[in-house]
Structure 1
Amino acid sequence: MSGHDITILAIEDELPIRRFLKAYLDGRGFRLLEAGTGQEGLSLAASHRPDVILLDLGLPDMDGLDVLARLREWTKTPIIILSAREQEQDKIRGLDAGADDYLGKPFGLGELEARMRVALRHAEASARDTDAGEVFESGDLRVDLARRKVTVAGEEARLTPIEFKLLAAMVRHAGLVVTHAQLLREVWGRHDADQAHYVRIYVHQLRGKIEREPARPEHLKTETGVGYRLE
Protein backbone atom coordinates (compact mmCIF):
# COMPACT_ATOMS: atom_id res chain seq x y z
CA MET A 1 0.00 0.00 0.00
CA SER A 2 1.42 3.36 -0.99
CA GLY A 3 1.28 5.97 1.73
CA HIS A 4 1.05 8.85 -0.74
CA ASP A 5 -1.49 11.42 0.50
CA ILE A 6 -2.63 9.16 3.37
CA THR A 7 -2.66 10.72 6.83
CA ILE A 8 -2.57 8.52 9.93
CA LEU A 9 -3.43 9.80 13.40
CA ALA A 10 -1.89 7.83 16.29
CA ILE A 11 -3.59 8.52 19.63
CA GLU A 12 -1.02 6.83 21.83
CA ASP A 13 0.55 8.00 25.10
CA GLU A 14 3.70 5.84 24.88
CA LEU A 15 6.39 7.89 23.14
CA PRO A 16 8.53 4.83 22.17
CA ILE A 17 5.56 3.35 20.30
CA ARG A 18 4.89 6.65 18.52
CA ARG A 19 8.54 6.82 17.47
CA PHE A 20 8.35 3.19 16.33
CA LEU A 21 5.29 4.00 14.21
CA LYS A 22 6.74 7.22 12.84
CA ALA A 23 9.99 5.61 11.68
CA TYR A 24 8.08 2.92 9.79
CA LEU A 25 5.22 5.00 8.40
CA ASP A 26 7.45 7.89 7.33
CA GLY A 27 9.59 5.39 5.44
CA ARG A 28 6.46 4.10 3.69
CA GLY A 29 5.37 7.58 2.62
CA PHE A 30 2.56 8.14 5.12
CA ARG A 31 2.00 11.34 7.05
CA LEU A 32 1.77 10.62 10.79
CA LEU A 33 0.03 12.90 13.30
CA GLU A 34 0.74 12.17 16.96
CA ALA A 35 -1.43 12.69 20.03
CA GLY A 36 -0.40 11.70 23.55
CA THR A 37 -3.84 12.18 25.15
CA GLY A 38 -7.45 11.53 24.24
CA GLN A 39 -8.35 15.22 24.17
CA GLU A 40 -5.43 16.03 21.88
CA GLY A 41 -6.42 13.15 19.63
CA LEU A 42 -10.03 14.36 19.38
CA SER A 43 -8.80 17.85 18.50
CA LEU A 44 -6.40 16.60 15.80
CA ALA A 45 -9.05 14.28 14.35
CA ALA A 46 -11.44 17.22 13.97
CA SER A 47 -8.90 19.67 12.57
CA HIS A 48 -6.93 17.38 10.22
CA ARG A 49 -9.51 14.72 9.21
CA PRO A 50 -7.02 11.80 8.99
CA ASP A 51 -7.63 8.80 6.72
CA VAL A 52 -7.02 6.25 9.49
CA ILE A 53 -6.93 6.56 13.30
CA LEU A 54 -4.79 4.27 15.46
CA LEU A 55 -6.22 4.37 18.99
CA ASP A 56 -4.71 3.15 22.25
CA LEU A 57 -7.23 2.26 24.96
CA GLY A 58 -5.00 3.10 27.94
CA LEU A 59 -4.75 6.91 27.67
CA PRO A 60 -3.78 9.13 30.62
CA ASP A 61 -6.75 11.53 30.54
CA MET A 62 -9.68 9.39 29.37
CA ASP A 63 -10.52 5.83 28.44
CA GLY A 64 -9.88 4.95 24.81
CA LEU A 65 -13.41 3.57 24.48
CA ASP A 66 -14.76 7.02 25.42
CA VAL A 67 -12.55 8.56 22.73
CA LEU A 68 -13.91 6.01 20.28
CA ALA A 69 -17.51 6.85 21.19
CA ARG A 70 -16.83 10.58 20.76
CA LEU A 71 -15.24 10.01 17.35
CA ARG A 72 -18.11 7.85 16.16
CA GLU A 73 -20.55 10.66 16.92
CA TRP A 74 -19.33 12.49 13.82
CA THR A 75 -16.85 10.46 11.73
CA LYS A 76 -16.75 7.15 9.86
CA THR A 77 -12.94 7.30 9.56
CA PRO A 78 -11.45 3.80 9.95
CA ILE A 79 -10.30 3.27 13.55
CA ILE A 80 -7.92 0.49 14.53
CA ILE A 81 -7.44 -0.13 18.24
CA LEU A 82 -3.88 -0.79 19.40
CA SER A 83 -3.88 -2.00 22.98
CA ALA A 84 -2.17 -4.18 25.54
CA ARG A 85 -5.62 -5.16 26.84
CA GLU A 86 -5.82 -8.73 25.62
CA GLN A 87 -9.07 -9.78 27.27
CA GLU A 88 -11.65 -10.90 24.72
CA GLN A 89 -14.27 -8.67 26.34
CA ASP A 90 -12.13 -5.58 25.66
CA LYS A 91 -11.87 -6.52 21.99
CA ILE A 92 -15.61 -7.11 21.78
CA ARG A 93 -16.43 -3.80 23.47
CA GLY A 94 -14.09 -1.92 21.14
CA LEU A 95 -15.45 -3.52 17.98
CA ASP A 96 -19.06 -3.15 19.07
CA ALA A 97 -18.41 0.52 19.88
CA GLY A 98 -17.40 1.15 16.28
CA ALA A 99 -13.73 0.23 15.85
CA ASP A 100 -12.91 -1.33 12.49
CA ASP A 101 -10.20 -3.65 13.79
CA TYR A 102 -8.10 -4.51 16.85
CA LEU A 103 -4.41 -5.31 17.21
CA GLY A 104 -2.90 -6.38 20.51
CA LYS A 105 0.50 -5.11 21.63
CA PRO A 106 3.13 -5.99 20.68
CA PHE A 107 2.15 -5.99 17.01
CA GLY A 108 3.96 -6.41 13.71
CA LEU A 109 4.18 -3.34 11.49
CA GLY A 110 3.57 -5.39 8.36
CA GLU A 111 0.32 -6.72 9.85
CA LEU A 112 -0.69 -3.22 10.94
CA GLU A 113 -0.20 -1.92 7.40
CA ALA A 114 -2.25 -4.81 6.02
CA ARG A 115 -5.08 -4.07 8.48
CA MET A 116 -4.98 -0.39 7.49
CA ARG A 117 -5.20 -1.37 3.83
CA VAL A 118 -8.31 -3.46 4.49
CA ALA A 119 -9.93 -0.72 6.58
CA LEU A 120 -9.26 1.91 3.89
CA ARG A 121 -10.65 -0.35 1.17
CA HIS A 122 -13.77 -0.93 3.22
CA ALA A 123 -14.22 2.81 3.85
CA GLU A 124 -13.84 3.60 0.15
CA ALA A 125 -16.41 0.96 -0.80
CA SER A 126 -18.86 2.28 1.79
CA ALA A 127 -18.38 5.83 0.53
CA ARG A 128 -19.21 4.74 -3.00
CA ASP A 129 -22.36 3.05 -1.69
CA THR A 130 -22.11 0.29 -4.27
CA ASP A 131 -23.89 -2.42 -2.29
CA ALA A 132 -26.72 -2.65 -4.78
CA GLY A 133 -24.41 -3.83 -7.54
CA GLU A 134 -21.53 -5.25 -5.55
CA VAL A 135 -19.91 -8.53 -6.51
CA PHE A 136 -17.52 -10.03 -3.99
CA GLU A 137 -14.91 -12.55 -5.13
CA SER A 138 -12.33 -14.43 -3.09
CA GLY A 139 -10.69 -17.57 -4.43
CA ASP A 140 -13.43 -19.88 -5.64
CA LEU A 141 -16.18 -17.94 -3.85
CA ARG A 142 -18.31 -15.39 -5.74
CA VAL A 143 -21.18 -13.46 -4.16
CA ASP A 144 -23.43 -11.29 -6.34
CA LEU A 145 -25.45 -9.21 -3.87
CA ALA A 146 -27.76 -7.65 -6.46
CA ARG A 147 -28.75 -10.99 -8.00
CA ARG A 148 -28.60 -12.80 -4.64
CA LYS A 149 -26.46 -15.47 -6.27
CA VAL A 150 -23.57 -17.35 -4.67
CA THR A 151 -21.24 -19.67 -6.58
CA VAL A 152 -18.37 -21.84 -5.40
CA ALA A 153 -15.92 -22.98 -8.09
CA GLY A 154 -18.54 -22.05 -10.69
CA GLU A 155 -21.31 -24.12 -9.08
CA GLU A 156 -24.28 -22.34 -7.53
CA ALA A 157 -24.56 -22.67 -3.74
CA ARG A 158 -28.21 -22.71 -2.73
CA LEU A 159 -28.51 -20.70 0.48
CA THR A 160 -31.55 -20.16 2.67
CA PRO A 161 -32.66 -16.51 3.10
CA ILE A 162 -31.00 -16.31 6.53
CA GLU A 163 -27.77 -17.89 5.25
CA PHE A 164 -27.63 -15.38 2.40
CA LYS A 165 -28.37 -12.47 4.73
CA LEU A 166 -25.55 -13.65 7.01
CA LEU A 167 -23.11 -13.98 4.11
CA ALA A 168 -24.15 -10.58 2.73
CA ALA A 169 -23.44 -8.98 6.12
CA MET A 170 -19.98 -10.56 6.13
CA VAL A 171 -19.37 -9.34 2.55
CA ARG A 172 -20.22 -5.76 3.57
CA HIS A 173 -17.52 -6.02 6.26
CA ALA A 174 -15.09 -8.17 4.24
CA GLY A 175 -11.64 -8.37 5.77
CA LEU A 176 -12.81 -6.92 9.09
CA VAL A 177 -13.75 -8.59 12.35
CA VAL A 178 -17.54 -8.73 12.84
CA THR A 179 -18.73 -9.57 16.34
CA HIS A 180 -21.57 -11.88 17.29
CA ALA A 181 -23.54 -8.85 18.50
CA GLN A 182 -23.09 -7.02 15.17
CA LEU A 183 -24.33 -10.04 13.24
CA LEU A 184 -27.30 -10.51 15.57
CA ARG A 185 -28.32 -6.91 14.93
CA GLU A 186 -27.80 -6.96 11.17
CA VAL A 187 -29.21 -10.42 10.40
CA TRP A 188 -31.81 -11.10 13.08
CA GLY A 189 -32.49 -7.64 14.52
CA ARG A 190 -31.61 -8.99 17.96
CA HIS A 191 -29.54 -7.22 20.60
CA ASP A 192 -29.02 -9.92 23.22
CA ALA A 193 -25.43 -11.20 23.30
CA ASP A 194 -26.65 -14.44 24.89
CA GLN A 195 -28.33 -15.31 21.58
CA ALA A 196 -24.93 -15.79 19.90
CA HIS A 197 -25.76 -19.47 19.36
CA TYR A 198 -27.96 -18.37 16.43
CA VAL A 199 -24.85 -17.02 14.73
CA ARG A 200 -22.76 -20.14 15.43
CA ILE A 201 -25.46 -22.47 14.09
CA TYR A 202 -25.87 -20.57 10.82
CA VAL A 203 -22.13 -20.02 10.34
CA HIS A 204 -21.72 -23.80 10.64
CA GLN A 205 -24.43 -24.34 8.00
CA LEU A 206 -23.02 -21.64 5.74
CA ARG A 207 -19.53 -23.12 5.86
CA GLY A 208 -20.97 -26.43 4.76
CA LYS A 209 -22.10 -24.72 1.54
CA ILE A 210 -19.24 -22.32 0.71
CA GLU A 211 -16.12 -24.04 2.07
CA ARG A 212 -14.26 -26.91 0.41
CA GLU A 213 -13.34 -28.16 3.89
CA PRO A 214 -15.82 -26.72 6.42
CA ALA A 215 -13.64 -27.87 9.34
CA ARG A 216 -10.71 -25.88 7.89
CA PRO A 217 -12.42 -22.78 6.45
CA GLU A 218 -10.60 -20.64 3.90
CA HIS A 219 -13.19 -17.87 3.66
CA LEU A 220 -15.20 -17.51 6.86
CA LYS A 221 -12.62 -17.46 9.66
CA THR A 222 -13.36 -17.58 13.40
CA GLU A 223 -11.96 -14.85 15.65
CA THR A 224 -12.10 -16.87 18.87
CA GLY A 225 -14.48 -15.50 21.44
CA VAL A 226 -15.15 -12.37 19.37
CA GLY A 227 -16.82 -13.18 16.05
CA TYR A 228 -15.86 -13.86 12.45
CA ARG A 229 -13.84 -12.43 9.56
CA LEU A 230 -14.54 -13.00 5.85
CA GLU A 231 -11.14 -13.21 4.16
Structure 2
Amino acid sequence: MKHILIIEDDANIAELERDYLQLNGYHVTIIADGLIGLQHATSGTYDIIIVDLMLPNKDGFEILKAVRGKSEIPVIIVSAKTDDIDKIRGLGYGADDYLTKPFSPSELVARVKSHINRYERLMGKNTTIEIISHKGLEVNTASHQVFVNGKEVSFTAKEYELLVFLISHPNIVFSKDHLFTTIWKEEHFGDTATVSVHIQKIRKKIEKNPSTPQYIETIWGAGYRFNV
Protein backbone atom coordinates (compact mmCIF):
# COMPACT_ATOMS: atom_id res chain seq x y z
CA MET A 1 0.00 0.00 0.00
CA LYS A 2 1.34 3.43 -0.97
CA HIS A 3 2.22 5.67 1.99
CA ILE A 4 1.49 9.40 1.82
CA LEU A 5 2.82 12.06 4.18
CA ILE A 6 0.58 15.11 4.69
CA ILE A 7 2.19 18.10 6.42
CA GLU A 8 -0.70 20.44 7.14
CA ASP A 9 -1.61 22.44 10.28
CA ASP A 10 -5.27 22.95 9.32
CA ALA A 11 -6.89 19.86 10.83
CA ASN A 12 -10.05 20.12 8.71
CA ILE A 13 -8.11 20.22 5.45
CA ALA A 14 -5.69 17.48 6.52
CA GLU A 15 -8.53 15.17 7.56
CA LEU A 16 -10.41 15.82 4.31
CA GLU A 17 -7.31 14.96 2.30
CA ARG A 18 -6.74 11.86 4.42
CA ASP A 19 -10.32 10.61 4.05
CA TYR A 20 -10.34 10.88 0.27
CA LEU A 21 -6.90 9.30 -0.07
CA GLN A 22 -7.78 6.43 2.26
CA LEU A 23 -10.94 5.76 0.25
CA ASN A 24 -8.64 5.30 -2.73
CA GLY A 25 -6.47 2.77 -0.94
CA TYR A 26 -3.63 4.89 0.39
CA HIS A 27 -2.06 4.81 3.85
CA VAL A 28 -1.78 8.36 5.22
CA THR A 29 0.30 9.99 7.95
CA ILE A 30 -0.60 13.54 9.06
CA ILE A 31 1.88 15.92 10.70
CA ALA A 32 0.73 19.40 11.81
CA ASP A 33 4.12 20.90 12.74
CA GLY A 34 6.69 22.02 10.16
CA LEU A 35 9.76 20.92 12.12
CA ILE A 36 8.36 17.48 12.89
CA GLY A 37 7.14 17.25 9.30
CA LEU A 38 10.65 18.00 8.08
CA GLN A 39 12.04 15.19 10.22
CA HIS A 40 9.48 12.74 8.86
CA ALA A 41 9.92 13.88 5.27
CA THR A 42 13.68 13.42 5.32
CA SER A 43 13.90 10.25 7.39
CA GLY A 44 10.74 8.27 6.60
CA THR A 45 9.80 6.13 3.63
CA TYR A 46 6.94 7.69 1.70
CA ASP A 47 5.67 7.46 -1.86
CA ILE A 48 4.59 11.12 -2.05
CA ILE A 49 4.53 14.18 0.22
CA ILE A 50 1.72 16.76 0.36
CA VAL A 51 2.88 19.92 2.13
CA ASP A 52 1.37 23.28 3.04
CA LEU A 53 3.56 26.37 2.78
CA MET A 54 2.48 28.18 5.94
CA LEU A 55 3.38 25.92 8.87
CA PRO A 56 4.53 26.44 12.47
CA ASN A 57 8.32 26.22 13.11
CA LYS A 58 9.33 25.35 9.52
CA ASP A 59 7.62 26.49 6.35
CA GLY A 60 6.87 24.33 3.34
CA PHE A 61 9.69 25.82 1.27
CA GLU A 62 12.27 24.70 3.83
CA ILE A 63 10.77 21.21 3.92
CA LEU A 64 10.77 21.02 0.13
CA LYS A 65 14.43 22.07 -0.12
CA ALA A 66 15.44 19.52 2.51
CA VAL A 67 13.56 16.71 0.74
CA ARG A 68 15.11 17.62 -2.60
CA GLY A 69 18.54 17.44 -0.99
CA LYS A 70 17.97 13.74 -0.33
CA SER A 71 15.29 12.40 -2.66
CA GLU A 72 13.33 12.87 -5.87
CA ILE A 73 10.03 11.51 -4.54
CA PRO A 74 6.99 13.51 -5.67
CA VAL A 75 6.06 16.57 -3.61
CA ILE A 76 2.76 18.42 -4.02
CA ILE A 77 2.36 21.87 -2.48
CA VAL A 78 -1.14 22.69 -1.22
CA SER A 79 -1.40 26.32 -0.17
CA ALA A 80 -3.72 29.26 0.29
CA LYS A 81 -1.04 31.45 -1.30
CA THR A 82 -2.22 32.38 -4.78
CA ASP A 83 0.59 34.67 -5.92
CA ASP A 84 2.49 33.50 -8.98
CA ILE A 85 5.77 34.21 -7.19
CA ASP A 86 4.99 31.53 -4.60
CA LYS A 87 4.12 29.00 -7.29
CA ILE A 88 7.27 29.83 -9.23
CA ARG A 89 9.37 29.61 -6.07
CA GLY A 90 7.84 26.26 -5.07
CA LEU A 91 8.25 24.73 -8.50
CA GLY A 92 11.74 26.19 -8.70
CA TYR A 93 12.69 24.41 -5.48
CA GLY A 94 11.58 21.14 -7.05
CA ALA A 95 7.88 20.70 -6.24
CA ASP A 96 6.09 18.48 -8.72
CA ASP A 97 2.76 20.26 -8.44
CA TYR A 98 1.02 23.23 -6.79
CA LEU A 99 -2.64 23.21 -5.70
CA THR A 100 -4.32 26.38 -4.47
CA LYS A 101 -6.85 26.21 -1.62
CA PRO A 102 -9.75 25.65 -1.83
CA PHE A 103 -9.38 22.66 -4.14
CA SER A 104 -11.33 19.59 -5.13
CA PRO A 105 -10.34 16.53 -3.06
CA SER A 106 -10.98 14.39 -6.14
CA GLU A 107 -8.49 16.48 -8.08
CA LEU A 108 -5.92 15.99 -5.34
CA VAL A 109 -6.40 12.21 -5.51
CA ALA A 110 -6.05 12.26 -9.30
CA ARG A 111 -2.82 14.25 -9.09
CA VAL A 112 -1.42 11.97 -6.38
CA LYS A 113 -2.06 8.92 -8.56
CA SER A 114 -0.53 10.60 -11.59
CA HIS A 115 2.66 11.69 -9.83
CA ILE A 116 3.21 8.34 -8.11
CA ASN A 117 2.75 6.49 -11.41
CA ARG A 118 5.06 8.88 -13.26
CA TYR A 119 7.74 8.60 -10.57
CA GLU A 120 7.62 4.82 -10.59
CA ARG A 121 7.90 4.75 -14.39
CA LEU A 122 10.93 7.04 -14.22
CA MET A 123 12.50 4.83 -11.55
CA GLY A 124 11.82 1.74 -13.62
CA LYS A 125 9.56 0.18 -11.02
CA ASN A 126 7.02 -2.41 -12.09
CA THR A 127 3.69 -1.16 -10.78
CA THR A 128 1.69 -4.14 -12.05
CA ILE A 129 0.86 -6.65 -9.34
CA GLU A 130 0.71 -10.11 -10.90
CA ILE A 131 0.00 -12.38 -7.91
CA ILE A 132 -2.09 -11.45 -4.87
CA SER A 133 -2.28 -14.26 -2.34
CA HIS A 134 -3.96 -14.63 1.05
CA LYS A 135 -4.93 -17.72 3.09
CA GLY A 136 -5.55 -20.08 0.20
CA LEU A 137 -6.97 -17.41 -2.11
CA GLU A 138 -4.76 -16.46 -5.04
CA VAL A 139 -5.46 -13.89 -7.77
CA ASN A 140 -3.25 -13.67 -10.86
CA THR A 141 -3.89 -10.19 -12.25
CA ALA A 142 -1.79 -10.87 -15.35
CA SER A 143 -3.89 -13.85 -16.49
CA HIS A 144 -7.13 -12.85 -14.67
CA GLN A 145 -7.29 -16.23 -12.93
CA VAL A 146 -8.56 -16.88 -9.40
CA PHE A 147 -7.59 -19.96 -7.38
CA VAL A 148 -9.09 -21.18 -4.11
CA ASN A 149 -6.87 -23.72 -2.35
CA GLY A 150 -5.15 -24.41 -5.65
CA LYS A 151 -8.35 -24.94 -7.64
CA GLU A 152 -9.25 -22.44 -10.35
CA VAL A 153 -12.64 -20.77 -9.95
CA SER A 154 -14.50 -19.01 -12.76
CA PHE A 155 -15.57 -15.36 -12.32
CA THR A 156 -17.57 -12.93 -14.41
CA ALA A 157 -15.79 -9.70 -15.38
CA LYS A 158 -17.48 -7.57 -12.71
CA GLU A 159 -17.08 -10.21 -10.00
CA TYR A 160 -13.39 -10.36 -10.82
CA GLU A 161 -12.96 -6.57 -10.83
CA LEU A 162 -14.75 -6.26 -7.50
CA LEU A 163 -12.66 -9.00 -5.90
CA VAL A 164 -9.38 -7.54 -7.19
CA PHE A 165 -10.32 -4.08 -5.92
CA LEU A 166 -11.14 -5.35 -2.43
CA ILE A 167 -8.15 -7.67 -2.09
CA SER A 168 -5.86 -4.89 -3.36
CA HIS A 169 -7.05 -2.59 -0.54
CA PRO A 170 -7.04 -4.85 2.53
CA ASN A 171 -8.66 -3.82 5.81
CA ILE A 172 -10.24 -0.71 4.29
CA VAL A 173 -14.02 -0.32 4.51
CA PHE A 174 -15.69 0.72 1.25
CA SER A 175 -19.30 1.80 1.03
CA LYS A 176 -21.62 0.22 -1.50
CA ASP A 177 -21.86 3.59 -3.25
CA HIS A 178 -18.08 3.79 -3.60
CA LEU A 179 -17.80 0.23 -4.89
CA PHE A 180 -20.60 0.80 -7.39
CA THR A 181 -19.07 3.95 -8.87
CA THR A 182 -15.57 2.43 -8.89
CA ILE A 183 -16.43 -0.88 -10.56
CA TRP A 184 -19.42 0.05 -12.70
CA LYS A 185 -18.17 3.58 -13.51
CA GLU A 186 -21.66 5.02 -13.12
CA GLU A 187 -23.36 7.39 -10.74
CA HIS A 188 -25.25 5.75 -7.92
CA PHE A 189 -28.93 6.52 -7.62
CA GLY A 190 -29.84 4.67 -4.43
CA ASP A 191 -29.94 1.04 -5.62
CA THR A 192 -27.07 -0.87 -3.99
CA ALA A 193 -28.50 -4.29 -4.82
CA THR A 194 -25.98 -4.76 -7.64
CA VAL A 195 -23.04 -4.60 -5.24
CA SER A 196 -24.73 -6.83 -2.65
CA VAL A 197 -25.59 -9.48 -5.25
CA HIS A 198 -22.04 -9.57 -6.60
CA ILE A 199 -20.57 -9.81 -3.09
CA GLN A 200 -22.86 -12.79 -2.40
CA LYS A 201 -21.76 -14.49 -5.62
CA ILE A 202 -18.09 -13.91 -4.84
CA ARG A 203 -18.52 -15.32 -1.34
CA LYS A 204 -20.11 -18.49 -2.72
CA LYS A 205 -17.03 -18.99 -4.86
CA ILE A 206 -14.24 -18.19 -2.39
CA GLU A 207 -15.62 -18.72 1.11
CA LYS A 208 -15.69 -22.06 2.89
CA ASN A 209 -18.88 -20.90 4.62
CA PRO A 210 -20.43 -17.88 2.82
CA SER A 211 -22.72 -17.13 5.77
CA THR A 212 -19.67 -16.57 8.03
CA PRO A 213 -17.12 -15.14 5.58
CA GLN A 214 -13.44 -14.99 6.46
CA TYR A 215 -12.38 -12.89 3.46
CA ILE A 216 -15.02 -10.28 2.63
CA GLU A 217 -16.63 -8.94 5.78
CA THR A 218 -19.83 -6.91 6.00
CA ILE A 219 -19.47 -3.81 8.18
CA TRP A 220 -23.06 -3.01 9.02
CA GLY A 221 -24.06 0.52 8.10
CA ALA A 222 -20.69 1.16 6.41
CA GLY A 223 -19.98 -1.35 3.63
CA TYR A 224 -17.45 -4.13 3.01
CA ARG A 225 -13.81 -4.81 3.67
CA PHE A 226 -11.34 -7.53 2.77
CA ASN A 227 -9.77 -9.01 5.92
CA VAL A 228 -6.11 -9.88 6.18
TM-score (norm 1): 0.52
Quick check: 2:3–2:47 contact (8 Å CA) kept in 1?
Answer: yes
Partner of 1:127: 123
2:45 to 26, 46, 49: 49
Moved more, 53-62 or 16-25: 16-25
1:201-220 equivalent positions in 2, closer than 5 A: none
**Structure 1, unpaired ranges of 5+:** 130-231
Partner of 2:16: 20
- Alpha-carbon distance between aligned partners in 1 of 2:119 and 2:103, rounded to the nearest angstrom: 23
Q: Which runs of 4+ in 1 moved over 2 A?
A: 45-48
Per the alignment, in what secondary structure is the counterpart of residue 128 of structure 1?
Answer: coil
Letter of the structure 2 residue corresponding to residue 62 of structure 1: K
Partner of 2:93: 97
Q: Aligned-pair distance for 1:120?
A: 1.1
Aligned residues: 125
- Alpha-carbon distance between aligned partners in 2 of 1:62 and 1:100, rounded to the nearest angstrom: 20
Whether 2:50 is the aligned partner of 1:68: answer no
Deviation digits for residues 9-32 of structure 1 (CA, Å, limit 9, x no counterpart): 000011111111222222222111
Deviation digits for residues 169-210 of structure 1 (CA, Å, limit 9, x no counterpart): xxxxxxxxxxxxxxxxxxxxxxxxxxxxxxxxxxxxxxxxxx
Whether 2:57 is the aligned partner of 1:58: answer no
**Structure 2, unpaired ranges of 5+:** 126-228
1:9 to 5, 18, 22: 5
Percent identity (aligned): 39
Q: Which has the greater radius of gyration?
A: 2
Q: Aligned-pair distance for 1:79?
A: 0.2
Q: Aligned-pair distance for 1:47?
A: 3.9
- Alpha-carbon distance between aligned partners in 2 of 1:116 and 1:57, rounded to the nearest angstrom: 18
Per the alignment, in what secondary structure is the counterpart of residue 29 of structure 2?
Answer: strand
Q: Aligned-pair distance for 1:51?
A: 0.4
